Structure 1
Amino acid sequence: MELLDKCLALLKEKGADEGEVSLTHVQNEEMELKNGNIDLLRSRDEYYLNLNAIIEKKRASIQINKIDEEAIAEAVSELIHNAENSQIDEANGVSDQVQERDFNNCKDNYDPELMYKRLENFNKEVTAAYPDLVLEGAVLEYQKRYNYYRNSKGVNLSSNHDNYFFSTSFFGRRNRETSSMNYTGIALENLDEELYELASLPYLLRESVEHLDARIIDNKKFTGDLIITPDCLRSILYSLLSHLGNDMLIAGTSYFKDSLDKKVLDGKFTLKTEPVSDLLAIKDYYSGDGVVNRNDYIFAEGVLKNYLLDFYGSRKTGLQRGPSLGSNLVVEAGDKSIAEMVESVERGIILARFSGGQPASNGDFSGVAKNSYYVEDGEIKYPIKETMISGNLFSLFQNIMGISKDRINFGYSLMPFLHAKEIVVSSR
């Protein structure tokens, strides 16, 4: 792309030893459902230009959302100044995996009439089925994304793809009683299915109404089992994977330091990154460091197979660059039905949402169980409120009792239910 070539030339002219430039062009067509009406039809056309310069092993970065010559010249001037005043780091550099690749996954299936119909049907069905549910909002958008990357060592990458995205938030309300807010987001290749049938929405909507009758657990404190729903599992996995990325591995604080090809988690647990998966709507062909991503294992039957380092992290640690930076997570299905998992629980909870800070570096965590249920003697007893859980992130994944056969496809991840043990549950 000519614009990126000009940017690289300008960086070199102004004194950069190495440089890289990436441009993202996003075209959005958006419809919003609010207060029962589809009252927002909006088009957005946005540019994001990222410039990186390295001068004598000193690095700086800048992002702008304008692509005219004046804006670029001003940004380059600021960038060069910042690089000259940065710290020397021998690991600074740009990818030398020289290649020219163009990835195309555009379906060009924008259909505003169908978008309107799907949103309208969603509103009608949800309102009729759940009179005690309040739809805080719902947004359906069609997005076309063009990505371009160039660097001073000859790497030349580009991709273009389009998808639909649906997000919604909601809560239950009956008289003066309200349940906790819940939400979900889904990426789609097309609008073949009704929105209210997608991913975990059918049970999330039902749960929000059921939580109008939430209770405090009778047993004030106990150690029991935890069944984590697919929505909640995604967020918990991000905490786990933070130990595989740049920050913790460079600092030497990662729980998984020096653990490649070692069994570190339960043998039932297999996790892949699938940036170019046929199963998922979203594609992540290459990352901001100019390296093409690939499908591969992160954990295979509990064995750590790959870190998730980028190009800089790889140079800094001397370890291999990851197959991706952690995109498109796919947990391998297990052999249990959800009913079988519940039946095996003597006492515990089904965790649908967790509200708490990041776990400590040793994995200890505590927080509030939201939109969750109490389970006793193999039965779901009632929805719960004012309930805390605490435990250890790593112990949780080392004590897996079962993983469900069924998985939820969010378009950018594929998640099952996961049953673990030895979690402390306490209520007011």
Structure 2
Amino acid sequence: LLSVRKEIFELQEEKRLISETVRTLVVRLGSSEEPQHQALQRGRQIRSRLSELTLRESQLDEEHYSRALRLPNSTHPDVPVGDESQARVMELVGQKPEFDFQPRGHVELGETLGLIRQRHLSHVSGHRSYYLRGAGARLQTALQNFALDTLQRRGFIPMVVPDMLKGAVFEGCGMQPNAHRSQVYSLDPTCFPDLNLAGTGEVGVAGFFMDHAVNWKDLPVRTVCSSTCYRAETDTGRETWGLYRVHHFNKVEMFGVTADETGQESAELLQEFVSLQKEIFSALELHFRVLDMPTQELGPPAHRKFDVEAWMPGRNAYGEISSGSNCTDYQSRRLNILYEAEDGSLQYAHTVNATACAIPRTIIAILETHQTKEGTVRIPRALQPYLGMEVIEKPSYTPLRYIGPNQHHRPPRPAAKIR
């Protein structure tokens, strides 16, 4: 690419000199002299060659750009090296719940209490989709409002962000729509060119700061948004049932923009975000652990990443409910997010993101942790003002009866009434 650009520069300079020569010859000798014809012929050769080189430059530039996009961020020296098995447990919070009965899973609890429906949806919304109803829907709203209220009290700026964004924003965040079709939904390009559904609110907030500079007096900027996230999740062999891995879900996301003067600002902001995650999940009376994630689990933009995993008794295992990443200047360089320093100079900012509450997975942890022997679910004290109840009990209404084509014993259809 450099050699092509060097040749382009040299030919453009030669073309400029030829143009000056031709103008001089026209003035001195008129339009019929041989030196002028030779100069014009050489000019045509240069234009033809420049056309070829410009096309080649464009091809090489696109090729190098696509490769550069795949380059990951640097990693913090304390990050464990290896795969998921090398994750380092940083902290255990809360007590693991104990039961004098066999704990149920969230799907069984959700169906019994009329909170969740996943059955008979293949012809409605497809696999990995779900309905929340009654106290289930209220629980989602309560979690969203509780997380938003908690963060706004700490000075976070609330935001509503687009669900559909251009591919350049995804690329700038370290997510390539064309390379990750298993994760990213893209809209029909014949109707909506280059529009994709966001899998996290981080993309929408990052797009807000794209091509803008923040004044140093306002740093760090702490924002929070609640958005619907869409993920293709085409790996059909993982978590095919329940709310753990679904195509759409609501999430409250923290996003921060900070300076890079001491080299520690973004690391400190990440620790602040993790502390807020711990505060939220402790208030929900969950047992969870904080993990320092290893190199193979970071993803391209993350310099360091912490995951929070809650104990889910129905699964008899920990499950990820949130994460937080320090992306340093990886995203800001790609999205052109700057800050205006005290001396007036423009510098690349650092970005930090963290999940405040991924609603479906938090619902899993709450239902399975706070279930009772009677089949009810105790509401954590912090959520009771939002739900207006202390216990989720079985609803009084009669559950819907399935009469669709996949029922085992299909009754005869009612006869048409003749009027």
- How does the TM-score come out when normalised to structure 2? 0.24
Structure ID, larger Rg: 2
Name the one with the larger helix percent.
2
Name the one with the larger strand percent.
1
Higher relative contact order (CA 8 A, sep 6+): 2
- How does the TM-score come out when normalised to structure 1? 0.23
